[in-house]
Amino acid sequence: MLWRTLIKLSNGIRSTQRATLNRGIARGLQGDVDEAIADFKKAKALKPDSIVDKAPEFSFCAPYRELSSYIKFYPEDARGYEVRGILNLLQDREGEAKRILKRA
């Protein structure tokens, strides 16, 4: 599954922020929502612009890209939508978060 791949990739990433963010996504997809939120908050504290819709061209990682891939392959799994909703809440996008969380 994608979350296993993310955990493996996170172990090889030198950036603590990116590894923490990927670990949060993996934990969220596993259903460990409290741990995922803690990781997202830690990643945001390390680098406030780490939670973005699209990765800059020079960046390797954007959480929405991984989640979009996961949701594309597993559209019936509510956890992908749940994690995306949480990321939207952390970006102060409450309306979008509510819409996505309803779908979950």
Domains of the chain, by residue range, sit at: 2-103
pLDDT at 35: 92
pLDDT digits (tens, 9 = 90+) for 5-63: 555 555 544 567 777 888 888 888 888 889 988 988 888 887 776 665 554 443 434 56
In the prediction, which pLDDT does 56 show?
A: 45
Query: What's the burial of 86, exposed, middle or buried (CB within 10 Å: 0-12/13-18/19+)?
Result: buried
Write b or e for each residue in 23-59: b if 16 or more Cβ atoms lie within 10 A of its Cβ, otherwise e: bbbbbbbeeeeeebbebbebbbeeeeebbeeeeeeee
**Cα 58 to chain centroid, rounded:** 19
What are the angstrom distances between the C-alpha of 88 and each of 9, 23, 55, 77, 79? 23, 17, 15, 18, 14
pTM of the predicted protein model = 0.65
